[in-house]
Structure 1
Amino acid sequence: MPTRSLPYDEILCELITRIRKRFIGQDAAVAAFAAEICRHIAASPAQQRPGIFLIAGPNVGNDHLGLPAGLADSLRTGGELYELSSIQGEDLAHLFAPTSGGTQVRSMLYVLKNNPIGVLVLRDIDKAPPELLKKLMNAWSQGFAEDEAGKKIALANAIFVLTTEVAQTQIGQIARDEPDPDRLHVQCLKLLLDAGFPAPLLKSLDAVFALKALTPGEVVLEHYRSFTDQIASHGLVLKGGIDGRILAHSMDKTTEPCIEDAWLPRDELDARLAQAKVAGVHTVRLVLREGIITVVPVGERSAQDATNPSADAHLPSLLTARRQVSDGTGVRNRMVTIPNA
């Protein structure tokens, strides 16, 4: 069943659950984003304009795309990503064309005509050409866009998610310090305006969502917790730790070796966990084998573990785990356990 057809509370719960699976370490932003999306969906029968939301703050590893990716997955509507900083010339003109062909960039009007409840992600909105911003803001305020033939394409059920890296360092710090989402929203607007973000565009927004800055240790802890929660959702217990290379990769996805399914959604890992549960396994650890996160029942030693005397070494404290992971001292060559994570 499409998420949009569910009651408000169920939509909110579904959104938060699904987005958190894709977007780790930003629970406050996820909760605020889900609440605003739910309010927009609840009001959509009586409104004409689309939902217009901005994501700001640190964009580490393309974090800005985590919220809209989770949203599109939750709503089961699909979406389209537009890199506005690189769109120009023929591609720019094609954005409002009635057909999809002709350039590498798909027409927004064509996408919305075929998927009126879609999620459109406009990356680096502040770098968009002025003529494009003018067209977008005019279409948003009217609730429709016109193609070259004068045909109106309704926008009321669409959701536009914009991103910006303007003032990302300052916004990331404010998001750490300010727990109230309303005050955070106001402070973000001021920071963006002071940093040169287009004022008319700010007035078009329904809400701004700030991602907080995370230390390397916090990133590792959040990813460790996400694996723990994923394992627990299958009725299993993480007892043997996580291969340190998996956590190192969670900090920097360019880390070698490449991990095929380290970044959520970890559907393939879910399938392996389900298989382990059916096989009667109760406690597991996660080991990297040939670039894939593998579920290993506790008590079974992998070939790599047998040749690695430190593979089962447990870190004595959360502080030690954070320090060793953040500075890279020995973590990639050992299993990591974070107590009470």
Structure 2
Amino acid sequence: MQPMSFLKWHYTTSFRYFLYVLNNYFSFVLHYFSIPILVKTLFWRFRRLDLTEKKPGLHIEIWFSNLVENFISRLIGFIARSFIILLGIFSLCAFLIAVFVLLIFYLLFPIATLPFYYKAKKGDKIKSVTIKKLFNSSYGRFFLDKLGVSYERIVRSREMQGATPLFVPHTPPEGTEVERVIPLGPSSPSEIFLYLCENWEPLKKYLKENNISKDDLNEITLWYQKTHSFKEKILRFWEMDNLLSRGSIGSILSFGYTNFLDQYCLDVTAAYQKRSYYNLYGRKAQLKQLEESLLQEGGKSFTILTGVKGVGKHSLIYNLAEKIALHHTPIKLRDKKVLMLNTETFLSGYDKDAIPAKFIEMLEEGGRAGNVIVVVDALEKLLSSKYGVDLFSVFTKAKSYDFPPIAGVMEISYFNEICAGNDILNSIFSVVKIEEMTVEDSMKILEDFADAAFYKEKVIISYKALKLVVGLANKFLVNESKPERFIAVFNRVLADVGAKNYSIINENSVREVVSKMVGVPVSGSEEENKKLLDIERLIHKRLIDQDLAITALSKALRRVRTGVSAAKRPSGAFLFLGPTGVGKTETAKALADIYFSSEKYLIRFDMAEYQGKDALERLLGSFETGKPGVFASALKNNPFGVLLLDEIEKATSDVLNTFLTILDEGYITDAFGNKISAENLIIIATSNAGAEYIRTYLKEGNLAEKLSEELTEFVLRNKIFSPEFINRFDAVVVYKPLSNEEIALVAGLMLEKLVKRVKEEKGVVVQYTSELVDKIIKEGYDAVFGGRSVRRYIQDEVEDKIAKEILEKNLKAGDEIRL
């Protein structure tokens, strides 16, 4: 150590920081006792109580009573404030004496700061460390956890055995093998890890195997720096933010009671300290806009905070309360108390006729208190009788009342309906619109959540798992907004892991939980992989023959679901061509049952019903009438499953053109401008077009393998479908007519379903013979209608016979019948 260098640091850099800390504590004492505010309001009434009785005319006794009561109120206020002021002055004097003693000690004994000098010179740079020690440090564990690598795995690796590599500044210590030395020079933990990831074989191999990119490493580095900085900030208790977070005991005497408001409001300023909200990244502009709006017109301002559900409107309010408490806002907003009105509870507490007067009374209480900002949650309930009550006139006459600053929160749909075209409302309300958060900023929120999960519940979540939370939420929670969709998945994953007493969340954990949340397989999960590999056999359990069709469908489905095909499209899009009754619809049902676990995930539309001029309006809705479309509503309410468009060739050209977007982009836009996602749907369009061509083609002995290509050419040549429409599908799947032998197998499958159903529902055992199958084919099969004619015959003859026997009490649970 160079003594002169140390002394220079002690009496310059260190001394400035010493004065900075002292200034923080001096400011905190003034804040804690609120001395400036108490001096300003020294002779005000106690808690701003207005005891004045008002009657028309001159009443001496009332005037004298008001005078006495207000004098007593001011006297009590003066005594209470004076006591706190004196207590504050005494504390300041004690503080100044302590400062004088510390200052003398600081000037005379510089050796006391020597440890801080060494720490300041060293910084976070590491000059020499073994890899094992590095990995076992707090920052080493952080990096390994986020990479998903266990410390034990690294320590047991072959490369860690024997001599351990060292990080040294320039030359290795005597006796160290040169080839096992990494001469980085003094480096930060982040720099060392990035170097290791690029140059140390065990980590390089792991990163390559797990598809962890350099960008991922950089993001983990930034995450570490953010987490480390936050922890350091918390430990620096002398920082102003940490001191101010303790509140004050004096300011309460300068402001009024809010008993009425407190019945229906949440004190956001008090609640922010529980950190029940998330940091808002990327929202500085909106927060500044909200502050400026609340400062308009001498403190009497009205603001509407709007955006779609789940974008963070309420969290913006919490962040405003935090900024106010930490004095990060303009002076006029400091010492304000943010109260959020539970509108529904307030409305339920009074008769409709009494609500306007009670609302005015409540807000005037906030105005008299002098330090209140009222946030009206669900503002639409106070601006429209359709949703609650219409207090429009109260807001338009607000300047005649003593109202505090007011901010209202409402979803964008209500805002567009109630406020967008209302010039009067727009003239008195400022509007702050909150857009969806970016994925990058949402990831920062999840990183904060992950840190909290580690410190509170000792649960570790890797960076790849966190990225997967975002990716799957974007894919499967399409009707939720960002960041709410990500937070919903994260919380569900955390709850599931906690229930199983796991301590590590990996990618498989995330897939399993999301699959449970949405009720469908998640791409990449073990369950889906097994189904995709075995899809042909599973479908053939319900479908006879059609090998070429099922093979083509299965190949395309595997291609789409594994990400080989383009994203931002439906999960699969297929055009089924073939005669009636050959298994096209049955394939769709089988796919819904196998892939999504139930036929309830089949969304079916008969396009023969949409041939009129109003077809598009019926499907997508009407803006004029406000009536939603059946197709748009079905997709919105059922975002997962198999969408079956039967007899697609019968739809109008407008309808077919509309389907181009859904097939190509994976969404459809309804009559009200809402985008409805179809990315999680397998779309199957069926058509009987070319049925006769198929029969003729096969009768002539042509190769079945060429049928799909030839039929597609036939359909295009005859302009049944346009090339643009055909090209939107992942595959055109052709179904051939069934032979008599195959029809017999179809009849057998239908009878087996009947046997199972009657057994489960009625407890009756049904047995059938081969003679029954022959009879069904002989009397019921019609080549034009294929398998449908067989189903109809079974319903009319076989099912009806069983039903009659049951009704006539000839069959009861436990009985058998042979057909």
Same fold by TM-score, threshold 0.5 exceeded?
A: yes
Q: Of residues 214, 235, 244 in structure 1, which corresponds to 2:771?
A: 244
SS state of the match for residue 120, structure 1?
strand
Determine the C-alpha separation between the residues in 2 that align with 1:195 and 1:153: 33
1:226 Cα shift?
9.0
Counterpart of 2:618? 94
Q: Do 1:145 and 1:155's aligned partners in 2 also have CA atoms closer than 8 Å? A: yes
Counterpart of 1:209? 733
For residues 205-225 of structure 1, give each alpha carbon's deviation from its aligned partner in whole angstroms, at most 9, with x where no partner exists: 211111112222332156558
Determine the C-alpha separation between the residues in 2 that align with 1:75 and 1:291: 37
> Is 1:164 the counterpart of 2:687 in the alignment?
yes
SS state of the match for residue 609, structure 2?
coil
Task: Indicate how the Cα distance of structure 1 residues 226 and 30 shifts in structure 2: closer, same or farther if over 3 A, else same.
Answer: farther
Q: Of residues 148, 154, 163 in structure 1, which corresponds to 2:677?
A: 154
Counterpart of 1:220? 744
Task: Indicate how the Cα distance of structure 1 residues 128 and 15 shifts in structure 2: closer, same or farther if over 3 A, else same.
Answer: same
Task: Indicate how the Cα distance of structure 1 residues 225 and 65 shifts in structure 2: closer, same or farther if over 3 A, else same.
Answer: closer
Q: Do 1:49 and 1:143's aligned partners in 2 also have CA atoms closer than 8 Å? A: yes
Task: Indicate how the Cα distance of structure 1 residues 19 and 94 shifts in structure 2: closer, same or farther if over 3 A, else same.
Answer: same
Q: Give the alignment of 1:5-84 within 5 angstroms.
A: 5=523, 6-7=525-526, 9-43=529-563, 47-50=567-570, 51-60=572-581, 63-76=583-596, 78-84=601-607
Q: Do 1:29 and 1:211's aligned partners in 2 also have CA atoms closer than 8 Å? A: yes
Counterpart of 2:405? none
TM superposition score normalised by structure 1: 0.62
1:18 Cα shift?
3.7
> Is 1:107 the counterpart of 2:630 in the alignment?
yes
Counterpart of 1:295? none
Determine the C-alpha separation between the residues in 2 that align with 1:136 and 1:244: 47
Determine the C-alpha separation between the residues in 1 that align with 2:744 and 2:616: 40
Residue type at the aligned position of 1:142 = E
SS state of the match for residue 82, structure 1?
strand
Determine the C-alpha separation between the residues in 1 that align with 2:660 and 2:548: 28
Q: Do 2:560 and 2:566's aligned partners in 1 also have CA atoms closer than 8 Å? A: no
Residue type at the aligned position of 1:111 = A
Task: Indicate how the Cα distance of structure 1 residues 132 and 304 shifts in structure 2: closer, same or farther if over 3 A, else same.
Answer: closer
1:163 Cα shift?
0.9
Runs (5+) with no aligned partner, structure 1: 232-239, 262-287, 293-301, 306-341
Task: Indicate how the Cα distance of structure 1 residues 202 and 82 shifts in structure 2: closer, same or farther if over 3 A, else same.
Answer: same
> Is 1:188 the counterpart of 2:726 in the alignment?
no
Counterpart of 1:259? 798
Q: Do 1:96 and 1:107's aligned partners in 2 also have CA atoms closer than 8 Å? A: yes
1:90 Cα shift?
4.5
Determine the C-alpha separation between the residues in 2 that align with 1:91 and 1:291: 42
Higher strand share: 1
Counterpart of 1:122? 645
Q: Do 1:56 and 1:208's aligned partners in 2 also have CA atoms closer than 8 Å? A: yes
Determine the C-alpha separation between the residues in 2 that align with 1:38 and 1:25: 20
Task: Indicate how the Cα distance of structure 1 residues 227 and 303 shifts in structure 2: closer, same or farther if over 3 A, else same.
Answer: closer
1:165 Cα shift?
0.9
Counterpart of 2:380? none
1:190 Cα shift?
0.8
Counterpart of 1:318? none
1:186 Cα shift?
1.9
SS state of the match for residue 67, structure 1?
helix
1:160 Cα shift?
1.3
Residue type at the aligned position of 1:214 = L
Question: Which has the higher relative contact order, 1 or 2, with Cα contacts under 8 A spaced 6 or more apart?
Answer: 1
Determine the C-alpha separation between the residues in 2 that align with 1:124 and 1:170: 17
1:92 Cα shift?
3.7
Task: Indicate how the Cα distance of structure 1 residues 291 and 37 shifts in structure 2: closer, same or farther if over 3 A, else same.
Answer: farther
Task: Indicate how the Cα distance of structure 1 residues 36 and 260 shifts in structure 2: closer, same or farther if over 3 A, else same.
Answer: farther
Determine the C-alpha separation between the residues in 2 that align with 1:138 and 1:132: 11
Higher helix share: 2
Residue type at the aligned position of 1:242 = T
Task: Indicate how the Cα distance of structure 1 residues 149 and 208 shifts in structure 2: closer, same or farther if over 3 A, else same.
Answer: same
TM superposition score normalised by structure 2: 0.28
1:132 Cα shift?
0.7
Residue type at the aligned position of 2:703 = E
Identity of aligned residues (%): 23
Residue type at the aligned position of 2:650 = K
**Which one is further off, 10-19 or 129-138?**
10-19
For residues 108-146 of structure 1, give each alpha carbon's deviation from its aligned partner in whole angstroms, at most 9, with x where no partner exists: 222222222221111111111111111111333233222
> Is 1:133 the counterpart of 2:634 in the alignment?
no
> Is 1:178 the counterpart of 2:178 in the alignment?
no
For residues 54-92 of structure 1, give each alpha carbon's deviation from its aligned partner in whole angstroms, at most 9, with x where no partner exists: 1111212x7321111111111227021111122135554
